[in-house]
Structure 1
Amino acid sequence: MHFPESVKQQTCSDCLSGQDLGFQIRMAFQPILDWQTKDIIAYEALVRGPAGEGAGWVFARINEQNKYYFDQACRVKAIETAAKLGCKTFLNINFLPNAVYNPETCIKATIEAADLYGFDLNKLVFEVTEGEQIPDKEHLNRIFRSYAKRGFKTAIDDYGSGYATLDWLIELKPNILKLDMQLIRNIHLNRAKQHIVCKTIEQCELQGTRVLAEGVETREECDYLTSIGIRYLQGYYFAKPELERLTPLSEINGLV
Protein backbone atom coordinates (compact mmCIF):
# COMPACT_ATOMS: atom_id res chain seq x y z
CA MET A 1 0.00 0.00 0.00
CA HIS A 2 1.45 3.38 -1.01
CA PHE A 3 1.46 6.32 1.40
CA PRO A 4 2.59 9.72 0.12
CA GLU A 5 5.61 11.11 1.95
CA SER A 6 3.54 13.95 3.42
CA VAL A 7 1.13 11.41 4.89
CA LYS A 8 3.98 9.36 6.35
CA GLN A 9 5.40 12.44 8.06
CA GLN A 10 2.00 13.54 9.32
CA THR A 11 1.20 10.07 10.62
CA CYS A 12 4.39 9.67 12.63
CA SER A 13 4.36 13.22 14.01
CA ASP A 14 0.69 12.93 15.00
CA CYS A 15 1.30 9.69 16.90
CA LEU A 16 4.22 11.22 18.80
CA SER A 17 2.71 14.64 19.46
CA GLY A 18 -0.77 13.54 20.54
CA GLN A 19 -2.60 15.71 18.03
CA ASP A 20 -6.12 16.49 19.21
CA LEU A 21 -8.96 14.93 17.24
CA GLY A 22 -11.20 17.88 17.98
CA PHE A 23 -13.49 15.81 20.18
CA GLN A 24 -13.10 13.30 22.99
CA ILE A 25 -13.56 9.58 22.61
CA ARG A 26 -14.61 7.08 25.26
CA MET A 27 -14.82 3.31 25.34
CA ALA A 28 -17.61 0.83 25.90
CA PHE A 29 -16.86 -2.84 26.54
CA GLN A 30 -18.72 -5.99 25.53
CA PRO A 31 -17.78 -9.38 27.01
CA ILE A 32 -16.68 -12.37 24.93
CA LEU A 33 -17.57 -15.75 26.41
CA ASP A 34 -16.04 -19.20 26.46
CA TRP A 35 -19.07 -21.49 26.37
CA GLN A 36 -17.06 -24.49 27.49
CA THR A 37 -15.75 -22.91 30.69
CA LYS A 38 -18.74 -20.57 31.13
CA ASP A 39 -16.39 -17.67 31.69
CA ILE A 40 -15.52 -14.26 30.24
CA ILE A 41 -12.27 -14.55 28.30
CA ALA A 42 -12.15 -11.08 26.75
CA TYR A 43 -13.81 -7.70 26.40
CA GLU A 44 -14.07 -5.90 23.08
CA ALA A 45 -13.41 -2.17 23.27
CA LEU A 46 -15.91 -0.16 21.22
CA VAL A 47 -15.43 3.53 20.53
CA ARG A 48 -18.01 6.04 21.73
CA GLY A 49 -18.41 9.81 21.61
CA PRO A 50 -17.94 12.21 24.54
CA ALA A 51 -21.55 11.79 25.72
CA GLY A 52 -21.67 8.09 24.90
CA GLU A 53 -22.73 8.58 21.28
CA GLY A 54 -22.47 5.44 19.14
CA ALA A 55 -19.67 4.48 16.77
CA GLY A 56 -21.60 5.96 13.83
CA TRP A 57 -21.41 9.42 15.42
CA VAL A 58 -17.67 9.03 15.87
CA PHE A 59 -16.88 7.66 12.40
CA ALA A 60 -18.88 10.46 10.77
CA ARG A 61 -16.14 12.76 12.10
CA ILE A 62 -13.21 10.71 10.83
CA ASN A 63 -11.56 11.62 7.54
CA GLU A 64 -8.28 11.28 5.64
CA GLN A 65 -6.72 14.03 7.74
CA ASN A 66 -7.39 12.56 11.17
CA LYS A 67 -7.84 8.80 10.68
CA TYR A 68 -4.19 8.02 11.42
CA TYR A 69 -4.29 9.65 14.81
CA PHE A 70 -7.80 8.33 15.45
CA ASP A 71 -6.56 4.76 15.06
CA GLN A 72 -3.78 5.39 17.56
CA ALA A 73 -6.06 7.30 19.94
CA CYS A 74 -8.55 4.42 20.03
CA ARG A 75 -5.84 1.92 20.95
CA VAL A 76 -4.48 4.12 23.72
CA LYS A 77 -7.92 4.98 25.12
CA ALA A 78 -8.98 1.31 25.08
CA ILE A 79 -5.88 0.25 27.01
CA GLU A 80 -6.08 3.17 29.43
CA THR A 81 -9.75 2.60 30.23
CA ALA A 82 -9.50 -1.18 30.47
CA ALA A 83 -6.52 -0.93 32.80
CA LYS A 84 -8.29 1.56 35.06
CA LEU A 85 -11.30 -0.76 35.21
CA GLY A 86 -9.07 -3.63 36.29
CA CYS A 87 -9.38 -5.75 33.13
CA LYS A 88 -7.41 -9.00 33.49
CA THR A 89 -8.83 -10.80 30.45
CA PHE A 90 -7.87 -10.38 26.82
CA LEU A 91 -8.71 -6.97 25.35
CA ASN A 92 -9.95 -6.84 21.74
CA ILE A 93 -9.14 -3.60 19.94
CA ASN A 94 -10.35 -2.71 16.44
CA PHE A 95 -7.85 -1.14 14.07
CA LEU A 96 -7.92 0.46 10.63
CA PRO A 97 -5.33 -1.23 8.38
CA ASN A 98 -5.29 1.75 6.01
CA ALA A 99 -4.23 3.94 8.94
CA VAL A 100 -1.12 1.84 9.57
CA TYR A 101 1.80 3.22 7.58
CA ASN A 102 4.44 0.92 9.07
CA PRO A 103 3.41 -1.79 11.56
CA GLU A 104 6.59 -1.46 13.63
CA THR A 105 6.34 2.33 13.82
CA CYS A 106 2.60 2.54 14.40
CA ILE A 107 2.57 0.04 17.27
CA LYS A 108 4.89 2.17 19.42
CA ALA A 109 2.10 4.23 20.99
CA THR A 110 0.25 1.03 21.86
CA ILE A 111 3.27 -0.44 23.61
CA GLU A 112 3.94 2.79 25.47
CA ALA A 113 0.31 2.96 26.61
CA ALA A 114 0.38 -0.63 27.88
CA ASP A 115 3.58 0.12 29.80
CA LEU A 116 2.23 3.38 31.19
CA TYR A 117 -1.06 1.89 32.42
CA GLY A 118 0.32 -1.50 33.42
CA PHE A 119 -1.60 -3.58 30.90
CA ASP A 120 -0.21 -6.96 29.81
CA LEU A 121 0.80 -6.75 26.13
CA ASN A 122 0.21 -10.48 25.78
CA LYS A 123 -3.50 -9.86 26.44
CA LEU A 124 -4.04 -7.67 23.36
CA VAL A 125 -6.07 -8.87 20.38
CA PHE A 126 -6.19 -6.67 17.26
CA GLU A 127 -9.32 -6.97 15.12
CA VAL A 128 -9.44 -5.83 11.50
CA THR A 129 -12.50 -3.64 11.21
CA GLU A 130 -14.51 -3.26 8.01
CA GLY A 131 -14.88 0.48 8.35
CA GLU A 132 -12.97 0.92 5.09
CA GLN A 133 -11.97 -0.99 1.99
CA ILE A 134 -8.75 -3.00 2.13
CA PRO A 135 -7.48 -3.29 -1.43
CA ASP A 136 -3.98 -4.45 -0.49
CA LYS A 137 -3.96 -7.92 1.02
CA GLU A 138 -0.17 -7.94 1.33
CA HIS A 139 -0.24 -4.78 3.44
CA LEU A 140 -2.63 -6.45 5.88
CA ASN A 141 -0.47 -9.58 5.81
CA ARG A 142 2.57 -7.53 6.83
CA ILE A 143 0.64 -6.09 9.76
CA PHE A 144 -0.50 -9.54 10.89
CA ARG A 145 3.04 -10.95 10.63
CA SER A 146 4.50 -8.02 12.52
CA TYR A 147 1.95 -8.31 15.32
CA ALA A 148 2.46 -12.07 15.56
CA LYS A 149 6.20 -11.55 16.07
CA ARG A 150 5.42 -9.31 19.03
CA GLY A 151 3.08 -11.87 20.55
CA PHE A 152 -0.15 -10.01 19.78
CA LYS A 153 -3.16 -11.99 18.67
CA THR A 154 -5.06 -11.02 15.52
CA ALA A 155 -8.66 -11.39 14.43
CA ILE A 156 -10.68 -10.91 11.26
CA ASP A 157 -13.94 -9.20 12.24
CA ASP A 158 -17.31 -9.38 10.43
CA TYR A 159 -16.34 -12.45 8.39
CA GLY A 160 -18.98 -13.16 5.77
CA SER A 161 -20.14 -9.58 5.27
CA GLY A 162 -17.55 -7.96 3.02
CA TYR A 163 -14.00 -8.18 1.69
CA ALA A 164 -12.92 -11.18 3.76
CA THR A 165 -13.18 -14.47 1.86
CA LEU A 166 -11.91 -18.00 2.37
CA ASP A 167 -8.74 -17.02 0.48
CA TRP A 168 -8.11 -14.21 2.96
CA LEU A 169 -8.68 -16.57 5.86
CA ILE A 170 -6.20 -19.11 4.49
CA GLU A 171 -3.52 -16.54 3.66
CA LEU A 172 -3.77 -14.32 6.76
CA LYS A 173 -4.18 -17.17 9.26
CA PRO A 174 -5.61 -15.00 12.08
CA ASN A 175 -5.74 -16.35 15.61
CA ILE A 176 -9.47 -15.63 15.69
CA LEU A 177 -12.21 -15.44 13.07
CA LYS A 178 -15.36 -13.55 14.06
CA LEU A 179 -18.45 -14.61 12.14
CA ASP A 180 -20.56 -11.62 11.14
CA MET A 181 -23.91 -11.14 12.83
CA GLN A 182 -25.69 -11.41 9.48
CA LEU A 183 -24.50 -15.01 9.25
CA ILE A 184 -25.60 -15.63 12.84
CA ARG A 185 -29.06 -14.07 12.61
CA ASN A 186 -31.64 -16.90 12.64
CA ILE A 187 -28.97 -19.39 11.62
CA HIS A 188 -30.97 -22.17 13.27
CA LEU A 189 -33.60 -21.65 10.53
CA ASN A 190 -31.34 -21.10 7.52
CA ARG A 191 -29.59 -24.08 5.91
CA ALA A 192 -27.55 -21.90 3.55
CA LYS A 193 -26.02 -20.01 6.49
CA GLN A 194 -25.44 -23.29 8.31
CA HIS A 195 -23.51 -24.63 5.31
CA ILE A 196 -21.29 -21.54 5.09
CA VAL A 197 -20.53 -21.57 8.81
CA CYS A 198 -19.77 -25.32 8.90
CA LYS A 199 -17.37 -25.02 5.95
CA THR A 200 -15.68 -22.05 7.62
CA ILE A 201 -15.28 -24.01 10.85
CA GLU A 202 -13.63 -26.86 8.92
CA GLN A 203 -11.01 -24.52 7.45
CA CYS A 204 -10.39 -22.83 10.78
CA GLU A 205 -9.81 -26.19 12.44
CA LEU A 206 -7.26 -27.10 9.76
CA GLN A 207 -5.20 -23.97 10.35
CA GLY A 208 -5.68 -23.52 14.09
CA THR A 209 -7.92 -20.45 13.97
CA ARG A 210 -10.52 -20.05 16.71
CA VAL A 211 -14.08 -19.32 15.56
CA LEU A 212 -16.07 -16.70 17.44
CA ALA A 213 -19.74 -16.01 16.73
CA GLU A 214 -20.64 -12.37 17.27
CA GLY A 215 -24.05 -10.76 17.24
CA VAL A 216 -25.82 -13.62 19.03
CA GLU A 217 -29.26 -12.31 20.02
CA THR A 218 -31.44 -15.32 20.86
CA ARG A 219 -31.31 -18.58 22.77
CA GLU A 220 -32.07 -20.48 19.56
CA GLU A 221 -29.03 -19.00 17.83
CA CYS A 222 -26.88 -19.79 20.85
CA ASP A 223 -28.13 -23.38 21.05
CA TYR A 224 -27.45 -24.04 17.37
CA LEU A 225 -23.98 -22.48 17.40
CA THR A 226 -22.85 -24.40 20.46
CA SER A 227 -24.32 -27.62 19.03
CA ILE A 228 -21.96 -27.40 16.03
CA GLY A 229 -18.96 -26.82 18.25
CA ILE A 230 -18.57 -23.04 18.37
CA ARG A 231 -17.05 -22.32 21.74
CA TYR A 232 -16.60 -18.54 21.73
CA LEU A 233 -19.63 -16.25 21.68
CA GLN A 234 -20.49 -12.55 21.84
CA GLY A 235 -23.73 -10.63 21.49
CA TYR A 236 -26.70 -8.81 22.99
CA TYR A 237 -28.21 -12.10 24.15
CA PHE A 238 -25.45 -12.31 26.74
CA ALA A 239 -24.69 -8.65 27.42
CA LYS A 240 -24.78 -5.30 25.66
CA PRO A 241 -21.72 -3.04 25.55
CA GLU A 242 -21.44 -0.84 28.63
CA LEU A 243 -19.79 2.55 28.67
CA GLU A 244 -16.60 2.48 30.75
CA ARG A 245 -17.73 -0.66 32.60
CA LEU A 246 -16.74 -4.32 32.42
CA THR A 247 -19.90 -6.42 32.74
CA PRO A 248 -19.19 -9.04 35.45
CA LEU A 249 -19.85 -12.73 34.96
CA SER A 250 -22.74 -12.59 37.47
CA GLU A 251 -24.67 -10.32 35.06
CA ILE A 252 -24.19 -12.43 31.92
CA ASN A 253 -27.43 -13.86 30.55
CA GLY A 254 -27.84 -17.34 29.13
CA LEU A 255 -24.95 -19.23 30.72
CA VAL A 256 -27.21 -21.50 32.75
Structure 2
Amino acid sequence: MSCDGCSPASALDLDVSMAFQPIYDAVDERVWGYEALVRGVGGEGAAEVLAQVRPDQRYRFDQDCRVTAIELASRLFPDPEQLKLSINFMPNAVYEPSACLRATLRAADRHGFPLTSIMFEFTEDEQVADTEHLTGIIAEYRKRGFTTAIDDFGAGHAGLSLLVDFQPDLIKIDMLVIRGVDTDPARQAVVAGVVHMADALGITVLAEGIETEAEYLTLRGAGIRLFQGYWFARPAFEALPPPQNPR
Protein backbone atom coordinates (compact mmCIF):
# COMPACT_ATOMS: atom_id res chain seq x y z
CA MET A 1 0.00 0.00 0.00
CA SER A 2 1.32 3.43 -0.91
CA CYS A 3 1.45 6.43 1.40
CA ASP A 4 1.48 9.94 -0.07
CA GLY A 5 2.69 11.44 3.21
CA CYS A 6 5.58 9.00 3.60
CA SER A 7 7.90 10.90 1.31
CA PRO A 8 11.65 11.04 1.97
CA ALA A 9 11.81 14.52 0.39
CA SER A 10 12.06 16.30 3.75
CA ALA A 11 15.16 14.52 4.95
CA LEU A 12 16.49 15.26 8.41
CA ASP A 13 19.59 17.37 8.72
CA LEU A 14 20.42 15.95 12.15
CA ASP A 15 21.30 12.54 13.53
CA VAL A 16 19.58 11.05 16.56
CA SER A 17 20.48 8.60 19.28
CA MET A 18 18.68 7.32 22.39
CA ALA A 19 18.90 7.22 26.15
CA PHE A 20 17.16 4.40 28.02
CA GLN A 21 15.22 4.48 31.29
CA PRO A 22 14.05 1.29 33.03
CA ILE A 23 10.44 0.37 33.74
CA TYR A 24 10.27 -1.64 36.95
CA ASP A 25 7.79 -4.44 37.69
CA ALA A 26 7.15 -4.31 41.45
CA VAL A 27 5.32 -7.65 41.53
CA ASP A 28 7.97 -9.73 39.75
CA GLU A 29 10.73 -7.50 41.19
CA ARG A 30 12.54 -7.11 37.90
CA VAL A 31 13.03 -4.70 35.03
CA TRP A 32 9.99 -5.03 32.76
CA GLY A 33 11.42 -2.95 29.92
CA TYR A 34 13.13 0.26 28.89
CA GLU A 35 11.77 3.43 27.36
CA ALA A 36 13.87 4.85 24.52
CA LEU A 37 14.19 8.64 24.86
CA VAL A 38 15.52 10.68 21.95
CA ARG A 39 18.89 12.37 22.28
CA GLY A 40 21.39 14.00 19.98
CA VAL A 41 24.41 11.94 19.00
CA GLY A 42 26.43 13.93 21.51
CA GLY A 43 23.90 13.28 24.27
CA GLU A 44 21.96 16.52 23.71
CA GLY A 45 18.55 16.54 25.44
CA ALA A 46 15.20 15.86 23.80
CA ALA A 47 14.12 19.51 23.85
CA GLU A 48 17.25 20.58 21.96
CA VAL A 49 16.72 17.83 19.38
CA LEU A 50 13.00 18.48 18.90
CA ALA A 51 13.62 22.20 18.43
CA GLN A 52 15.53 21.37 15.24
CA VAL A 53 12.71 19.34 13.64
CA ARG A 54 10.57 21.27 11.16
CA PRO A 55 6.89 20.33 10.64
CA ASP A 56 7.69 18.88 7.19
CA GLN A 57 10.31 16.62 8.81
CA ARG A 58 8.02 15.05 11.43
CA TYR A 59 7.47 11.84 9.47
CA ARG A 60 11.18 11.27 8.79
CA PHE A 61 12.09 12.15 12.39
CA ASP A 62 9.50 9.70 13.73
CA GLN A 63 10.82 6.95 11.45
CA ASP A 64 14.48 7.59 12.29
CA CYS A 65 13.75 7.48 16.03
CA ARG A 66 12.00 4.11 15.71
CA VAL A 67 14.82 2.55 13.71
CA THR A 68 17.52 3.96 15.99
CA ALA A 69 15.75 2.69 19.12
CA ILE A 70 15.47 -0.82 17.68
CA GLU A 71 19.09 -0.84 16.50
CA LEU A 72 20.42 0.20 19.90
CA ALA A 73 18.11 -2.09 21.88
CA SER A 74 19.12 -5.07 19.77
CA ARG A 75 22.71 -4.50 20.89
CA LEU A 76 22.01 -3.59 24.51
CA PHE A 77 19.18 -5.89 25.61
CA PRO A 78 20.56 -9.10 27.14
CA ASP A 79 17.39 -10.97 26.13
CA PRO A 80 14.92 -9.08 23.91
CA GLU A 81 12.32 -11.81 24.46
CA GLN A 82 12.15 -10.90 28.15
CA LEU A 83 12.11 -7.08 27.93
CA LYS A 84 9.85 -4.48 26.36
CA LEU A 85 11.28 -1.66 24.27
CA SER A 86 9.01 1.36 24.62
CA ILE A 87 9.12 3.76 21.67
CA ASN A 88 7.31 7.09 21.50
CA PHE A 89 5.54 7.90 18.25
CA MET A 90 3.75 10.90 16.83
CA PRO A 91 0.19 10.05 15.69
CA ASN A 92 0.15 13.14 13.47
CA ALA A 93 3.27 11.84 11.69
CA VAL A 94 1.61 8.54 10.76
CA TYR A 95 -0.25 8.84 7.47
CA GLU A 96 -1.11 5.30 6.42
CA PRO A 97 -0.46 2.94 9.36
CA SER A 98 0.60 -0.13 7.38
CA ALA A 99 2.91 1.76 5.02
CA CYS A 100 4.42 3.82 7.84
CA LEU A 101 5.46 0.63 9.62
CA ARG A 102 7.70 -0.62 6.83
CA ALA A 103 10.93 0.87 8.20
CA THR A 104 10.08 -0.40 11.70
CA LEU A 105 9.44 -3.93 10.45
CA ARG A 106 12.61 -3.94 8.34
CA ALA A 107 14.70 -2.77 11.30
CA ALA A 108 13.22 -5.42 13.60
CA ASP A 109 13.82 -8.13 11.01
CA ARG A 110 17.35 -6.95 10.25
CA HIS A 111 18.35 -7.04 13.91
CA GLY A 112 16.31 -10.08 14.93
CA PHE A 113 14.25 -8.02 17.39
CA PRO A 114 10.86 -9.58 18.26
CA LEU A 115 7.83 -7.46 17.37
CA THR A 116 6.06 -8.63 20.52
CA SER A 117 8.79 -6.93 22.58
CA ILE A 118 8.04 -3.50 21.12
CA MET A 119 5.63 -1.09 22.79
CA PHE A 120 4.52 2.05 21.00
CA GLU A 121 3.32 4.87 23.21
CA PHE A 122 1.74 8.11 22.09
CA THR A 123 1.41 11.13 24.29
CA GLU A 124 -2.01 12.39 25.27
CA ASP A 125 -0.41 15.83 25.11
CA GLU A 126 -0.32 15.70 21.29
CA GLN A 127 -3.72 16.77 20.04
CA VAL A 128 -5.16 14.33 17.51
CA ALA A 129 -8.10 15.77 15.59
CA ASP A 130 -8.99 12.52 13.79
CA THR A 131 -9.64 9.91 16.46
CA GLU A 132 -10.78 7.44 13.80
CA HIS A 133 -7.32 7.66 12.25
CA LEU A 134 -5.71 7.07 15.65
CA THR A 135 -7.95 4.07 16.24
CA GLY A 136 -6.79 2.71 12.86
CA ILE A 137 -3.16 3.12 13.90
CA ILE A 138 -3.73 1.24 17.15
CA ALA A 139 -5.60 -1.56 15.37
CA GLU A 140 -2.79 -1.99 12.83
CA TYR A 141 -0.12 -2.00 15.53
CA ARG A 142 -1.96 -4.62 17.54
CA LYS A 143 -2.36 -6.77 14.45
CA ARG A 144 1.43 -6.75 14.12
CA GLY A 145 1.87 -7.87 17.73
CA PHE A 146 2.98 -4.54 19.21
CA THR A 147 1.90 -3.39 22.67
CA THR A 148 0.19 0.03 22.71
CA ALA A 149 0.23 2.68 25.43
CA ILE A 150 -1.04 6.17 26.21
CA ASP A 151 1.69 8.35 27.72
CA ASP A 152 1.08 11.35 30.03
CA PHE A 153 -2.43 10.13 30.86
CA GLY A 154 -4.35 12.78 32.76
CA ALA A 155 -2.40 15.79 31.49
CA GLY A 156 -3.32 16.04 27.80
CA HIS A 157 -6.03 17.13 25.41
CA ALA A 158 -8.32 14.14 25.15
CA GLY A 159 -8.60 12.80 28.68
CA LEU A 160 -11.09 10.03 29.21
CA SER A 161 -12.45 10.32 25.66
CA LEU A 162 -9.42 8.38 24.42
CA LEU A 163 -10.47 5.39 26.50
CA VAL A 164 -14.02 5.68 25.23
CA ASP A 165 -12.84 5.49 21.61
CA PHE A 166 -10.39 2.63 22.15
CA GLN A 167 -8.55 0.80 24.88
CA PRO A 168 -4.73 0.60 24.74
CA ASP A 169 -2.82 -2.16 26.48
CA LEU A 170 -1.29 0.25 28.97
CA ILE A 171 -1.69 3.79 30.32
CA LYS A 172 1.07 5.82 31.95
CA ILE A 173 -0.25 8.18 34.63
CA ASP A 174 1.39 11.56 34.17
CA MET A 175 3.92 12.67 36.76
CA LEU A 176 1.99 15.88 37.44
CA VAL A 177 -0.91 13.76 38.68
CA ILE A 178 1.20 11.65 41.01
CA ARG A 179 3.70 14.24 42.24
CA GLY A 180 3.27 14.38 46.00
CA VAL A 181 0.56 11.71 45.91
CA ASP A 182 1.70 10.38 49.29
CA THR A 183 0.44 13.52 51.07
CA ASP A 184 -2.43 14.61 48.80
CA PRO A 185 -5.84 12.95 49.28
CA ALA A 186 -7.16 14.45 46.03
CA ARG A 187 -4.36 12.88 44.00
CA GLN A 188 -4.84 9.60 45.81
CA ALA A 189 -8.54 9.63 44.88
CA VAL A 190 -7.77 10.33 41.22
CA VAL A 191 -5.18 7.55 41.07
CA ALA A 192 -7.59 5.11 42.73
CA GLY A 193 -10.21 6.02 40.13
CA VAL A 194 -7.80 5.48 37.24
CA VAL A 195 -6.69 2.11 38.63
CA HIS A 196 -10.30 0.98 39.10
CA MET A 197 -11.26 2.08 35.59
CA ALA A 198 -8.20 0.44 34.03
CA ASP A 199 -8.90 -2.82 35.85
CA ALA A 200 -12.45 -2.83 34.48
CA LEU A 201 -11.12 -2.28 30.93
CA GLY A 202 -8.27 -4.78 31.17
CA ILE A 203 -5.60 -2.07 30.91
CA THR A 204 -2.27 -2.14 32.75
CA VAL A 205 -1.31 1.01 34.70
CA LEU A 206 2.21 2.43 34.88
CA ALA A 207 3.14 5.32 37.17
CA GLU A 208 5.84 7.53 35.69
CA GLY A 209 7.99 10.23 37.21
CA ILE A 210 8.49 8.54 40.60
CA GLU A 211 10.99 10.61 42.59
CA THR A 212 10.57 9.44 46.20
CA GLU A 213 10.10 6.22 48.10
CA ALA A 214 6.92 7.64 49.65
CA GLU A 215 5.37 8.17 46.22
CA TYR A 216 6.32 4.66 45.19
CA LEU A 217 4.92 3.00 48.30
CA THR A 218 1.65 4.93 48.09
CA LEU A 219 1.15 3.99 44.45
CA ARG A 220 2.19 0.41 45.06
CA GLY A 221 -0.42 0.27 47.79
CA ALA A 222 -3.00 1.60 45.31
CA GLY A 223 -2.48 -1.49 43.17
CA ILE A 224 -0.08 -0.16 40.53
CA ARG A 225 2.46 -2.69 39.27
CA LEU A 226 4.76 -0.86 36.82
CA PHE A 227 6.91 2.14 37.71
CA GLN A 228 9.34 4.53 36.07
CA GLY A 229 11.19 7.57 37.34
CA TYR A 230 14.36 9.08 38.78
CA TRP A 231 13.94 7.23 42.09
CA PHE A 232 14.65 4.03 40.18
CA ALA A 233 17.12 5.36 37.60
CA ARG A 234 17.79 8.36 35.42
CA PRO A 235 17.97 7.79 31.65
CA ALA A 236 21.40 6.63 30.49
CA PHE A 237 22.78 7.61 27.09
CA GLU A 238 23.10 4.53 24.85
CA ALA A 239 23.15 2.30 27.94
CA LEU A 240 20.79 0.33 30.20
CA PRO A 241 20.88 1.66 33.78
CA PRO A 242 19.81 -0.85 36.44
CA PRO A 243 17.11 0.23 38.91
CA GLN A 244 18.68 1.59 42.08
CA ASN A 245 15.85 1.20 44.58
CA PRO A 246 13.83 -1.92 43.78
CA ARG A 247 11.56 -3.08 46.59
Q: What is residue 132 of structure 1 aligned with on the other side? A: 126
TM-score between both structures, scaled by the size of structure 2: 0.94
Question: Once the 2 structures are TM-superposed, how far is the Cα of residue 20 of structure 1 from its aligned partner?
Answer: 4.1
Identity in percent:
46
Q: How many residues align?
A: 243
Q: What is residue 213 of structure 2 aligned with on the other side? A: 219
Within the candidate set 98, 104, 117, 1:110 is matched to 104
Distance across 2 between alignment mates of 1:180 and 1:40: 20
**Secondary structure in structure 2 of the residue aligned to 1:40:** strand
Q: Deviations over 1:182-220 (max 9, x none)?
A: 011101111111111111111110111000000000000
Q: Please, what is the CA RMSD of the aligned residues?
A: 1.6
CA pair 66-131 structure 1, distance change in 2 beyond 3 A: farther
**Secondary structure in structure 1 of the residue aligned to 2:188:** helix
Within the candidate set 84, 100, 107, 1:90 is matched to 84
Distance across 1 between alignment mates of 2:193 and 2:126: 26
Distance across 2 between alignment mates of 1:115 and 1:151: 14
**Secondary structure in structure 2 of the residue aligned to 1:58:** helix
Distance across 2 between alignment mates of 1:204 and 1:86: 29
Q: What is residue 93 of structure 2 aligned with on the other side? A: 99
Q: Deviations over 1:65-116 (max 9, x none)?
A: 1001000000000000110113521100000000000101101110000001
Q: What is residue 171 of structure 2 aligned with on the other side? A: 177
Q: What is residue 180 of structure 2 aligned with on the other side? A: 186
1:21-36 superposed matches below 5 A:
21-36=12-27
Does the 8 Å contact 2:125/2:152 carry over to 1? Answer: no
Q: Deviations over 1:31-58 (max 9, x none)?
A: 0010011100110000001211111001
1:1-256 superposed matches below 5 A:
9=4, 11-14=5-8, 20-87=11-78, 88=80, 89-130=83-124, 132-248=126-242, 252-256=243-247
TM-score between both structures, scaled by the size of structure 1: 0.91
Distance across 2 between alignment mates of 1:109 and 1:181: 32
Question: Which letter maps to 1:173?
Answer: Q
Task: Give unmatched runs, 5+ long, in structure 1.
Answer: none
Question: Which letter maps to 2:16?
Answer: I
Question: Once the 2 structures are TM-superposed, how far is the Cα of residue 13 of structure 1 from its aligned partner?
Answer: 3.2
Question: Which letter maps to 1:65?
Answer: D
Q: Deviations over 1:157-181 (max 9, x none)?
A: 0001111312212322000000000
Q: Deviations over 1:112-164 (max 9, x none)?
A: 00001111111010000256321221111111111111111100000011113
Question: Once the 2 structures are TM-superposed, how far is the Cα of residue 28 of structure 1 from its aligned partner?
Answer: 0.3
Question: Which letter maps to 1:25?
Answer: V
Question: Once the 2 structures are TM-superposed, how far is the Cα of residue 12 of structure 1 from its aligned partner?
Answer: 2.4
**Secondary structure in structure 1 of the residue aligned to 2:199:** helix
Distance across 1 between alignment mates of 2:196 and 2:171: 12
Does the 8 Å contact 2:23/2:228 carry over to 1? Answer: yes
